[in-house]
Structure 1
Amino acid sequence: MQTWAKRGIQTALVTGGLLMLGTGIASADENVNPDSPAGPLDVNLSVPVDIQDNALGTLGKQVNLPEFHKEISTKPVTDAVNKASAPVTKTGALKPAAPALGATNGVVAKATDAASGVAQKVGQATHPGSQRAAVAQDAAPSVQDNGDPFHGNKVSANAALPILISGNALGVLGDATVDSNAQQNYEHNSDVSTDGSHGGLAGNVVALDWALPVQISGNALGLVGSGHTTGSATQSASTTSDVDTDGTNGGLAGNVIAPQGATPVQVSGNALGWFLGHAETDFAGSSEAESGGSLKTHGSKGAGSGNVAGVPVALPAKVSGNAVSWGGDADVPAGAYDAAAKAGDTAPGPRGQSYIQTDGDDSFLAGNVAQPQPAVPATVAGNAAAWIGNSLVGGGAARQSGGVDLGSDAKSGGTTSTSGENAAGSGNIADAPVAVPVEAFCVGGTWIGNAHASGCDNTTAAEAGSDTFTSGNGSFLGGNSVSAPPAGTVEVFGVGGSWIGNASGSATETKDVKAGGYTGTLGNDSAGSGNAVQVPVALPAEIFGVGGSWIGQGAGEASETKTVTSGGDGNTQDDNAAASANLVQVPVSAPVQVFGIGGSWIGQGAGAATTDTTSTAGGNGKATGKEGFAAGNIAAAPVSLPAQVHGIGGAWIGNGFGESENVTDSTAGGDLTTTGEGGSVAGNIVEAPVGAVASAFGDAAVWGGVVKGEGSNDVTSTAGGDAATNGDGGSIAGNVVAGQLLPVAQVFGNAASLVGVAHATGINDTEATSGGDIATSGEGGALSGDIFDVPAAAVAQVFGNAASLGGVAHAVADNATTGKVGGTDTTSGPAKALSGIAKQIPVGVVAQVYNIPAGLIAVTTTTVHNATDVQVADREAQIELPITMPELGATSLPQLPALPARAERSALPGAGLPELPALPTSVEGLLPNADLPSAAQLGDAPTVVFQQITDVVSGKGINIKG
């Protein structure tokens, strides 16, 4: 009987194994994904190479270089490795045997069921203790193979390096002429789909995608010969992959690391005229790259799960359409060159189309996101450079036909959403999108030669990242968000510079740059959660429309329309929380621009430029700290500072002409709203907005020669806005501390000459605003609803002055400056509980030096119109110091208007300055000897003691005007 029982058990094990194998085969057949190998490693590196239509001219012959078309790939090797390492249950290797095994499994199952029953009965009859042994055997540890020894972890590398070399003409001791139209396309997708839920160290993904097409086409070289090429080259590469995994209920599961690079490189359409050579190209180059995809995972109810590091990099780079000569001639009469890059993609999600989607609810250290997202186009195109030679791009100085069209487009990442509710250290976001195009185009530069670059038209778009959403409700250190999205430009265009030669540059451009977006989070019923930090920076930095020379001639001309946006609104909310839903904002908008400048030193320089610039950093800030502790507080320091120099003409023994038109709108931050009702250290606001302007324009200065500076300036600078909170029923809640600043410094419409002729015209329309109204309440609260506010304005301007020692200086200035800092402060509450107290200390100074003609054996004239209105907390500035002398003599000096005699001072408008009494010779009887009042005698206003001090500091009753 024991023999029969043993055989029955063996039969059951064998047939059961076959059944499991058949089931595994059927399951694999249902889940086969042709884009993702079943193995843990998927590496695909491809290098497609296309070489065609290239020629070498030498010794009176043109040699057409051989063509080459081949793809070098790791695919054959990696496919074999993947197949060998793949688990059986994840492949279709046994798929043909599945029908037969399925039928066999059915028959064997019935037999094993009967055999098992008989064997069990026989064993129990012959050996009564066998049942206990069976029970003991069932309780023994067992090992079960899940069919995947790698637990769904995957490493994927999808990279392509296409190389296109076409249409190049090299004339070396001979002539070469090429006409080519080449095209190269590469595309490979490798989506990754796996699962690490309910697993430990499972379902993790490392996915590298990189598309790097390299184009070297349409270049011409002349070296004691001639190279000439025409045609086009079009190249694209795509290495895409969406990632979808899961780490729910897992430990160190479902995490994703995804570097995604789209970096096309274009070196096309360049002309190199080397020693005694001529090079000419008329070409069109196009490069595109796309990499990566959307990233989706989960980390809820896990530990160290569902975290994502997405690194999309969009960096299109081109060095194209340039003409460079050294002892030769280089010509690029026309061309078109564009490059585009896209890194990362989006998929439908709870917040619309999203780049990253994950979660970390009910978890520990899960669902966190780190995402640096650069979109940085790089361009060096359409430039002309000569060193003892001639270089021409576009129409040039003599020809107005032709031109070079340039374009760059970069996009990385997108919207991100996660959550960390009822969790610890989960659902946090570190966001760093960067959108900063770096470009130099249509610049002409020479040293003993001619270099002209004209007719460039550039269009650039760069977008990095987007909105972020998270939630830390009911969590500890969860749902926090930090965003630092710099957006700006670094560029030089439309510039001509010479040193013993002639150079010019002219260009137009349209640019749209955006980094980051809205930041939203929650922290209800939490601790240290739902906090947000935003540091958006919008910084367009550029030089354009500048002409300069040293013993030569340099001319620059440029116009642009530019929009730069960094970040957006911030919103964080919580109720009944501790150290949660606090918001920190430090937005900075700072256009730094130099344009429309003409300068020379023993030569002639001319520059002309126009700009329409919009620069925006951050937005409104909203938080709530209702019935919370150290919650819903806001700290904001928005800074708007356009710093610009334009429309300047200057020369030292030469001529310099500068002309500019400037329209700039700079904004940093916005309104602030929060509440600390029923809270402790909650709903407080600390703000320090700075709405500033710093500019110099429409000025002219000469040592010996003729100069002219003409500048039109229309600038709006806004920092911050209104602030509103509430501290009713709270303790140290709903308070506002504000330092609102308005510094303005401008120099315009001034002319200065030593022994030359200087003409200056500055037309100014400046509007600066900092901060706004403040409203709060402290009803029923303690040390709540208080306001301490210092709005301060300092305006310094020098305009419409003409000075000459022995020449001619004419100055024209029209000034309209409007400034507003602070506003109305409103609060209420029981003063006895140090609540509802408002103290505002406005400080305003306006100092202007204008309309002063000063000459010595010279001719000087000034024409000035001034309209300045500066409001400090809805009042005029306390101190106004105008210095103006419209008919200053040759030996006179400008000075402040003299004060009238003591008897006449009472006639000064608003002066009210009483005559000071004689100083006493003794202090006896001067010191008070009355008893100090008790606390009860102070009444309902304990701060009345400080009233006189604050009145003096604020300048109340003091009004100094010239």
Structure 2
Amino acid sequence: MQTWAKRGIQTALVTGGLLMLGTGIASADENVNPDTPAGPVDLHASVPIDISKNALGTLGKQVNLPEVHKEISTKPVTDVVNKALAPVSNSGAAKAAAPVTKAANGAVSKAAAPASQAVSGAVSKAQAAAGKRTDQPKAAAPSIESTGDPFMGNKVVGNVAVPIQITGNAIGVLGDAAVDSDDTQTYEHNTDVDTSGASGGLAGNAVNLDWALPIQISGNAGAVGGSGKTSGSATQSAATTGETTTDGNNGALAGNVVAPQGATPLQVSGNAIGWFLGHAETDFNGSSDATSGGSILTDGSQGAGSGNVAGVPVALPAKVSNNAVTWGGDADSAGGSTADATAGGTRPGSIRETPTYIETHGDDAFLGGNVAQPQPAVPATVVGNAASFVGKSVAGSGFDRASTIIGSNATSGGFTSTAGRDAALSGNIADAPVAIPAEVFCDGAAAIGSSAAGGCENTVDATAGQGGTYTNGNGGVVSGNSASAQPAGTAEVFGSAASAAGLASGSATEDKNVTAGGYNGSQGNDSAGSGNVAQVPVAVPAEVLGVAGAAAGQSGGTASETKDVTAGGGGNTQDDNGAGSANLIAAPVSVPAQVFGIGAAAAGQAIGEACTDTTSTAGDDLNANGKKGFLAGNLGDVPVSLPTQVHGIGGALGGIGRGASQNLTDSTAGGNATANGEGGSVAGNIVQAPTAGAATVDGLGAVLGGLASGESTNDVASTAGGDAETNGDGGSIAGDVVSAQLLPVAQVFGDAASLGGVADGESLNDTAVTSGGDITTSGVGGALAGDIFDAPVEAVAQVFGVAASLGGVAHAVADNTTTATDAGTDTTAGSTNSLSGVAKQIPVGALVQVYDIPAGLLATVTSDTVNDTEATVADHQPQFDLPVTLSELQAHKLPTFPSLKSLPLPTQQRADLPQVNTLPVQTPAASALPSLSGVLPTELPAAPASVQGLLPQADLPGVSSIDSNPTTLITHITDMVSGKGIHIQG
């Protein structure tokens, strides 16, 4: 017993990372005070251990393993340290340490003075360049004052908890073991950090580590030559929380915060593992929850190197639960599992009391109020899967039990605000919220065995950095800038099955919401290199669901889902009279990458069915204002929306493969883009390259000596960008727009191909793609202002309704409705003599469709195809329209006239006309006609010797009347390049 317990405790110590804390470890049987004030050095780690109701079955008897209820903690040591350090802060100790602290404060004050002077000088120069008055009070050097605390309010706090719960497990080795457990473990420890380094040097800084890592191993069953059976439930929660509050106002290297906050529960629960001649069975529910950290508040105004924050909230709930695995045995798992994690917290902020994770300021500061915050929320799940090799495994619900309920909630960080007004290198934000659940659930795999995974209902909510960021760099130098990478997506496989020479099935449903980041806002009025925003929101829901594959067995996969993935939330920045300020760069990307509803079989049978409702959104509307600025308010936007999907496909190689799918996808990247460069130089310009497209392969049947069918409903909407509007009136190189609006579509659907087999392909396709929009600007009174150079390119390629067979049968059914809209109308104003108000659009479009083609040799082929396609590029039809189809005029058919229902036929002849048989039927011979001699003139008048005065003449135009517009030549060239007046149609 002691050896077994000792090993478990040693494992817990390693897992908890206590060596990292560099403190002693002791064993204590005492309750934890949930609210402990933090001392100058307060490192607390705890490993509560709860081991109960575990059993081992061997040689005909069950052995109940000993129970352990223990807590391993550093508290006995850290309490002593804290008590020893407490008197150091009293007046007597502070008086003794006064010479040292006074010398330190003086040194820091002297070191900070040049930085403060540099801030004042740099800000004054920036304001002068921007045309702002500089006779304002200059930022004073931080005045360092002693607080009477030799530690100067600096704190190092560690709050780590690793609760371990091992309960309800049973292992049968040449024997039987059965347990029933209903166990709960709870741990809470809160440590608030409240300090200050105001007017101090190297003061009020805080390192605050909060980490909750509960480990649950419960309800697992294993068997080798015996039986293991478990039932019941286990609930575990751990919280290591605390708010962090400090202040570095008017300080040097003061009020800075480093706060790692981890909530990472690990759950291994309800698994059944049946090894050789063993039977493992579980019916167990596991629940895990972890919470860590809290909000962060500080201030670095009028300081140097103060009020900076590094917040690292990590929410990563992981679970490996309710799986059934067997090799030469039998495994059966049922039940459910949930795991939740929350890292960081919020408090009412100063901006409209918005719930805020981090708030700081760096006004009138140097290197103050900056924020760095990676914020991952990444649930990881391996639940409800079944795998067998020469055995039988069942995971999830059957006919006589409830569904497997799976769920994860992960939340990290939140809204962040700061400012760097009249400062240098202050109030900047580096933001990286990440929300990407990674999951494998309810899949079945069998090799010479039988595996069934079914009835899973999965609900996931992953949120990272919700609310976005806001900063302000007005009057600053390289201040108030924001850079944010915002990836949101999924990586998952569920409701699928694969069989080598056995039986496999998987079925599941899910409801998932994933959000990373939000709106990014800033200002840069009267500043230099400030108030700029860069954001890269990326939404990529990637998944495989409802897919079945069989080599020489049978497999079936069934799945359905509703998914909403959102990355970012647009951006806005404002600047008047700035230099190199309030520029915005965005690259929102939305790429749903999905494979679903596919059945592929070699010498077996595979059926895959799936239904998906996916909404993928990256970014939103953008605005940049650079009025009366230099190199300000410019906007670069590269939104990409490209759903890439393969679904509803059946394939067979001597077997039977069927695939069926229903797809509803809405993908959006970016939105409208607005800017303003009135009265500015190199200001308010927009450079954009929206790309909206769709790449799908669906509704196909392909067979070689077998049976295959693919059936799909494909409804896709893809949008990138929107309207662009700016203004460059009275500016120089201002309010110009350079645009390349791209629209690529590549689709293959509703086709069938057979070689010695039977293939059916059917697709109902409705695709709507929109790239960009109207462009509006003005350059009145400006030079090289308000110009538009727009090159929209559209390429649509589709193959549908094609049935091809050699010695087989192929049936293709395709109903296509495609709408492709690229670009819009360009509008501007201004004098072209100053190269302003020039609008040049060069649209290029191509529509190539291969459809309604039955082609067979010694085969039966049919194609039932409907095509309704509308494609426009810059409100014009594509120059190249090349349909390839046999539906236009086949060799054995007559042409049809859709607008003419029937040819006119005589109805009744007039009675008063002579009948045909009474008309003369003989015509006179040519010799009987009268002679024309003498009737026509035989001589023509002679030509005059001179044509002077006979032909109309006009003077050549004077030089003044020739078109002197410098854009005339450009117009002729661009018209030829864009193919205006050219339309090629096959």
Task: Flag whether TM exceeds 0.5 (same fold).
Answer: yes
Contact 1:87 1:148 in 2 (8 A): no
Aligned 1:476-875 pairs, distance under 5 A? 476-875=477-876
Establish whether residue 957 from structure 1 lines up as the match of residue 969 from structure 2.
Answer: no
CA distance in 2, matches of 1:90, 1:406: 54
Q: How many residues align?
A: 842
Provide the residue aligned with 1:324 in structure 2: 325
Query: SS of 1:749's equivalent?
Result: strand
**Deviation, structure 1 residue 273:** 0.4
Cα deviations by residue, 1:744-769 (Å, 9 ceiling, x for unpaired): 00000000000000011011000000
Alpha-carbon offset, residue 286 of structure 1: 0.2
Note if contact 1:368-1:426 (Cα within 8 Å) is conserved in structure 2: yes
Taking the TM superposition and a 5 Å limit, the aligned residue runs for 1:442-457 are: 442-457=442-457
Structure 1 residues 503-531: Cα deviation after superposition (integer angstroms, max 9, x where no partner): 01000000000000000000000000000
8 Å Cα contact 2:180-2:232 kept in structure 1: yes
Corresponding letter in the other structure for 1:429: I
* Cα distance in 2 between the residues matched to 1:737 and 1:435: 34
Q: State the alpha-carbon separation in 1 of the partners of residues 714 and 538 from structure 2.
A: 23
Local SS of the residue matching 2:84: helix
Counterpart amino acid of residue 210 in structure 1:
W
**Residue 405 of structure 1 corresponds to which residue in structure 2?**
405
Change (3 A) 1:384 1:512: same
CA distance in 2, matches of 1:429, 1:87: 39
CA distance in 2, matches of 1:872, 1:144: 68
Kept in 1, the 8 Å contact 2:810–2:862? The answer is yes
Matches of 2:853 and 2:963 in 1, distance apart?
56
If the length of structure 1 is used for normalisation, what is the TM-score?
Answer: 0.86
2:428 matched residue in structure 1: 428
SS in 1 for 2:631: coil
Q: Which residue of 2 aligns with 1:342?
A: 342
Q: How does 1:27-66 map to 2 (within 5 A)?
A: 35=35, 37=37, 39-66=39-66
Query: Post-superposition shift, 1:403?
Result: 2.6
How much has 1:86 moved relative to structure 2?
Answer: 2.7
Q: How does 1:174-193 map to 2 (within 5 A)?
A: 174-193=175-194
Instruction: Please say if residues 38 and 91 of structure 1, whose CA atoms lie closer than 8 Å, have aligned partners that are also in contact.
Output: no
**1:66 CA displacement:** 1.0
Per the normalisation by structure 2, the TM-score is 0.84
Give the distance between the partners of 1:34 and 1:869, measured in 2 at CA.
66
| Residue ranges of structure 1 left out of the alignment (5+ in a row) | 1-32, 95-142, 898-931
The answer to whether the aligner puts 1:472 opposite 2:473 as a matched pair is yes
Q: 2:38 touches 2:191 (CA, 8 Å); kept in 1?
A: no
Query: In 1, are the aligned partners of 2:34 and 2:189 still within 8 Å (CA)?
Result: no
- Mapped contact 1:222–1:273 kept (Cα < 8 A): yes
Aligned to 2:13: none
Give 1:171's aligned residue. 172
Q: How far apart are 1:38 and its partner, in Å?
A: 6.3
Instruction: Quote how far apart the aligned CAs of 1:76 are.
Output: 1.1
Report deviation, 1:446: 1.1
How much has 1:39 moved relative to structure 2?
Answer: 3.6
Asked if the contact 1:87/1:149 (under 8 Å) is kept, the reply is: no
- Matches of 2:400 and 2:755, distance apart in 1: 38
Cα distance between partner residues in 1 of 2:788 and 2:425: 35
Q: Deviations for 1:154-192, whole angstroms, at most 9, x for unmatched residues?
A: 000000000000001111110111111000000000000
Question: Partner residue of 1:28?
Answer: none
Question: In structure 1, how many angstroms separate the alpha carbons of the residues matched to 2:715 and 2:36?
Answer: 58
Q: Distance in 2 between matches of 1:254 and 1:570?
A: 29
**Which residue number in structure 1 is paired with residue 367 of structure 2?**
365
Q: Secondary structure at the match of 2:78?
A: helix
Q: Which amino acid aligns with 2:70?
A: K
Query: Which position in structure 2 is the counterpart of 1:15?
Result: none
What is the rounded CA distance, in whole Å, between the counterparts of 1:340 and 1:695 in structure 2?
A: 36
2:918 matched to which residue of 1?
none
Query: Does the residue aligned with 1:681 lie in a helix, a strand or coil?
Result: strand
Structure 1 pair 819–91 and aligned structure 2 pair: CA distance change class (3 A): farther
| 8 A Cα contact 2:38 2:157, kept in partner | no
Give how far 1:942 is off. 1.2
1:68 to 1:259, Cα distance in 2 relative to 1, 3 A:
same
> 1:822, 1:872 within 8 Å by CA — same for their partners in 2?
yes
Supply the AA of the counterpart residue of 1:684: N
Residues 478 and 529 in structure 1, CA contact (< 8 A), matched pair in contact too: yes
Deviation at residue 773 of structure 1 after TM alignment? 0.3
Rounded to whole Å, the distance in 2 between the matches of 1:147 and 1:360 is 26
Question: Alpha carbons of 1:226 and 1:888: their partners in 2 closer, same or farther (altered >3 Å)?
Answer: farther
CA distance in 2, matches of 1:452, 1:752: 32
Residue number in structure 2 paired with 1:387: 389
Do the aligned partners of 1:38 and 1:87 also contact (CA within 8 Å) in 2? no
- Please tell me whether residue 356 in structure 1 is matched to residue 380 in structure 2: no
CA distance in 2 between counterparts of 1:715 and 1:445 reads: 32
Task: Give the superposition deviation at 1:232.
Answer: 0.2
Give the Å deviation of 1:324. 0.3
Q: Given the superposition, is the C-alpha separation of residues 505 and 943 from structure 1 closer, same or farther in structure 2, using an over 3 Å criterion?
A: same
Partner of 1:121: none
In structure 2, distance between residues paired with 1:945 and 1:88: 84
The aligned residue for residue 946 of structure 1 is 970
Q: Does the aligned pair in 2 maintain the 1:88–1:147 contact within 8 Å? A: no
SS of alignment partner, residue 222 of structure 1: strand
Instruction: Give distance in 2, aligned partners of 1:144 and 1:631.
Output: 41
Q: Distance in 2 between matches of 1:611 and 1:830?
A: 53
- What 5-or-longer segments of structure 2 have no aligned partner? 1-32, 95-143, 897-955
DSSP-derived class of the 1:574 partner: strand
Q: Name the CA distance, whole Å, in 2 between partners of 1:653 and 1:410.
A: 46
Closer, same or farther: CA 186–854 of 1 in aligned 2, 3 Å: same
Q: Secondary structure at the match of 1:239?
A: strand
The one-letter code of the counterpart of 1:191 is: D
Q: How does 1:239-258 map to 2 (within 5 A)?
A: 239-258=240-259
Q: Secondary structure at the match of 2:680?
A: coil
Is the 8 Å Cα contact of residues 852 and 887 (structure 1) preserved in structure 2? no
Report SS of the residue matched to 2:302. Answer: coil
In 2, distance between residues paired with 1:252 and 1:935? Answer: 73
> CA offsets, 1:129-153, max 9 Å, x none?
xxxxxxxxxxxxxx99743111111
Q: Give 1:939 shift.
A: 3.7
Q: Post-superposition shift, 1:933? A: 11
The C-alpha deviation readout for 1:455-509, integer Å capped at 9, x for no partner, is 0110000000022000000000000000101000000000010101110100000
Q: AA paired with 1:861? A: T
Within 2, Cα distance between the matches of 1:184 and 1:40? Answer: 31
Give the superposed CA RMSD: 2.1
Contact kept in structure 1, 2:34 and 2:188, CA below 8 Å: no
